[in-house]
Amino acid sequence: MKLTRRATLQTFIAGSAAFATLRAFPAAAQAKGGTLRVGLTYEIDTMNVYSTGFLGDAQAAVVEGLLAPDTHAKYVPVLATEVPTVQNGGIVLSPDGKTMKITYKLRPNVKWHDGKPFTSADVKFTWEAVKDPKFIAESKDGSSQVESIETPDDLTVIVNYNTVLPTFASTLFTFGIMPKHQIEGTDINTSSYNEMPIGTGPFKVKEFKRGQYCATERFDDYWRKAPNGDKLPYLDGIVFKMIKDSNTLITQLKSGEVDLVVQTPYNQAKQVEGIAAIEIVKGQLLSWQHLDFNFKRKSLADPAVRKAIAHGINRQVLIKAQGGFPEPIKSPVVPVFDFYDPNTPDYAYDVEKAKKILDDAGYKAGSDGVREKDGEKLSYSFVIQAGRADDELAQQVIIAQLKAIGIEAKADNKTGVAFRDARYKGGYDLLYSRWITSADPVYSVFWGTGGANNGQSYSNPTLDAAFKKFEASFDPAVRKAAAAEFQKILAEDLPSIPLTTNVAVIAKSKKLKNFVPNPTNMTNFVDTSAWYMA
């Protein structure tokens, strides 16, 4: 797929009150009622947006943040009345340029699902809860950079940062605000909030059946109204069905048991195109596929092995096996970003070169064809998320390609919490998966020393310094130079091999109207209030 949104995805951090909603639909009367049934390809581990190891699809329909990225990956206000910027005075840098202060003005008359008023106290509590060392969060991004929060009144939040954080909008308060009155005084790790969260979103949780579904229903006191004055949301509810087997997912699309699948497997897209009641929507994603190495394995900590593997993978075969939808990449910075560096070093597919690298490094083939050195065979546990047809297919392609250069990879696929734990705790040798970023990415979470998503035990102080420069300046020139630097380091040190971009192949009922794709990690469900069933 061509990157048709390149022109609209160039500037992410700027925002203003002019972008008052995530989308703008015609003011014509819309149909009210109906329940949307969504097929998820994974098992929801928790409804807490700060704890989940997956994208927060169901969570996004229930919980709201102060800001959110819209369909063009531009931040817009949600529970805040405008996006803070230097220009509008919402962001104030200290005289020495080392710290900053951000002021949020909150929307009045917003209610939690239990009818309690949403106030600045909830925002401050969210920060305190997330940064608490006792809270086991998937990510605490943005919490440690906050020095203090002032709440001079119920609708004003002043956030004092101990550094300059240009990526503030992609962390912490954007993912969701937690209700102080529900959680305060409880152990958030075991709180009922993790299954039945109270939010301010258009839908509230009705029932959560672990491993099966999460049923939501309309929140009648939702704050947002349509441009024509209609009270939102239109739908009676959304049911998120957890269907890990892709064949079952397609079967339920055909039978009408599922109305929307936002991650249709590439190799099954043609089957979906033949379903009369379903239409395909293709959306660009800020996402890429990657192969990660666990540095706890002595051989994988050897750059020769990593570079040989990079030369041994043929991206074109991967792409063909996945219906031709992805595109090859050489950097984790997807090309839609203006700080993507086209001069990033690349590893061309070259089997003979891969073999020579391993030969020169002393890895010799045994009687079974698997190379070894100093008693360690190049035989690896290869983990993917089970049930994802595209990943399972790619895994088989990679296994065959690695075998051709004398490396054995054995499938060790995991589901649900087991996969999440393996991914974040390093329970693998090789891991093939995908990352998707916010509209203003923070890459240190993936490969920075101690990064929240760094399950590889990888550390590089030079890379850490480049990340710090990128993430601590509002100057576009400084950020672009730092981005070029960290892309070069990642390509040369190769803790992870970026393989292909992703595109969303969305299968939706023709009856579902006002649906627009969202390319970011806030998911397609970040703005569901105007969706309706014709």
pLDDT digits (tens, 9 = 90+) for 252-310: 999 999 999 998 989 889 889 889 999 999 888 999 999 999 999 999 999 999 999 99
**What's the whole-number mean pLDDT along residues 130-142?**
91
Residue 332 clears pLDDT 90, i.e. is over it: yes
Q: Mean pLDDT across the stretch 348-353?
A: 98
Average pLDDT over residues 62-71: 95
Helix, coil or strand: residue 3 = coil
| Nearest-angstrom CA–CA distance, 157 and 129 | 16
Question: What are the phi and psi torsion angles at 105 (to 5°)?
Answer: -100, 125
Residue 7 predicted with pLDDT over 50: no
Taking 50 as the threshold, does the pLDDT of residue 122 lie above it? yes
Higher pLDDT, 521 or 151: 151
Q: Does residue 275 contact residue 438 with C-beta atoms inside 8 Å?
A: no
Mean pLDDT computed over every residue of the chain: 92
Read off the pLDDT band of 16 (50, 70, 90). Answer: very low
User: Would you say 170 and 180 are in contact if contact means Cβ atoms under 8 Å apart?
Assistant: no
SS3 50: coil
Integer Cα distance of 426 and 337 in angstroms: 29
Cα dist from 129 to 76, 132, 205, whole Å = 25, 5, 21
Residue 388's pLDDT band (cuts 50, 70, 90) = confident
Instruction: Return d(Cα 90, Cα 69) in angstroms, integer.
Output: 18
Q: What angle do CA 236, 525, 519 make, to 5 degrees?
A: 155
φ/ψ (deg, to 5) at 432: -110, 125
Q: Which residues contact 460 (CB under 8 A, 6 or more apart)?
A: 447, 449, 489, 493, 495
- The predicted model gives 463-471 an average pLDDT of 96
- Taking only the tens place, the pLDDT of each residue in 156-168 is 999 999 999 999 9
Question: Is residue 24 predicted with pLDDT exceeding 90?
Answer: no
Kindly state the average pLDDT of the residues 71-80: 93
333: left (phi over 0), alpha (psi -120 to 50) or beta: beta
Predicted local confidence at residue 73, as pLDDT: 85
- Non-local CB neighbours of 170 within 8 Å, separated by 6+ positions: 141, 437, 438, 439, 440, 441, 442
HSE-up (13 A, CA, CB side) for residue 424: 17
Residue 31 has pLDDT above 90, yes or no: no
Averaged over 132-144, what is the pLDDT? 91
Phi, psi of 387, deg, nearest 5: 95, -15
What is the model's pLDDT at position 395?
A: 98
A 10 A CB-CB count for 178 gives: 25
> Could you give the C-alpha distances from 365 to 301, 346, 368, 380, in angstroms and in order?
19, 27, 8, 15
Position 389 confidence tier, pLDDT thresholds 50, 70, 90 = confident
Alpha carbons 4 and 12: distance in angstroms, whole number:
16
For residue 6, what pLDDT is reported? 27
pLDDT digits (tens, 9 = 90+) for 417-446: 899 899 999 999 999 999 989 888 999 999
Spatial CA neighbour of 139 closest among 162, 180, 176, 171: 171
Mean pLDDT value of segment 106-117:
98
Residue 505 CB partners (closer than 8 Å, separation 6+):
263, 264, 265, 266, 269, 272, 280, 282, 325
- Number of Cβ within 10 Å of residue 267's Cβ equals 16
Contact between residue 239 and residue 36 where contact means Cβ atoms under 8 Å apart: yes
Residue 19 has what pLDDT? Answer: 32
pLDDT of residue 134: 96
Q: Is the pLDDT of residue 26 over 90?
A: no
Residue 29 has pLDDT above 80, yes or no: no
Which residue do the tokens 């990079």 mark?
310
**pLDDT of 453 higher than 70:** yes
Amino acid at 145: Q
Give the model's pLDDT for residue 180.
98
Q: What is the pLDDT of residue 246?
A: 86
pTM, full prediction = 0.79
For 73, the token pair is 């990956």
Does 12 have pLDDT greater than 70?
no
Average pLDDT over residues 113-139: 96
Radius of gyration, CA atoms only, the chain: 23
Report yes or no: 12 and 439 within 8 Å, Cβ to Cβ: yes
Confidence of residue 25 (pLDDT cuts 50, 70, 90): low
Pairing of strands 156-161, 146-153: antiparallel
* Average pLDDT value for residue range 225-242: 96
Taking 50 as the threshold, does the pLDDT of residue 9 lie above it? no
More confident call, 12 vs 419:
419
Q: What is the pLDDT of residues 159-200, one digit of tens each?
A: 999 999 999 998 889 999 999 999 999 999 999 999 999 999
Q: Which of 88-92, 197-201, 245-249 has the lowest mean pLDDT?
A: 245-249
91-110 burial, b at 16+ Cβ within 10 Å, e below that, comes to: beeeeeeebbbbbbbbbeeb
pLDDT category at 18 given cuts 50, 70, 90 is very low
Residue with the two structure tokens 């990526």: 167
Asked if 212 contacts 516 with a C-beta cutoff of 8 angstroms, the reply is: no
Mean pLDDT of 515-534: 94
Task: Check residue 15 and give its pLDDT.
Answer: 34
Average pLDDT over residues 31-39: 94
SS (H, E, C) 192-248: HHHCCCCCCCCEEEEEEECCCEEEEEECCCCCCECCCCCECCCCCEEEEEECCCHHH
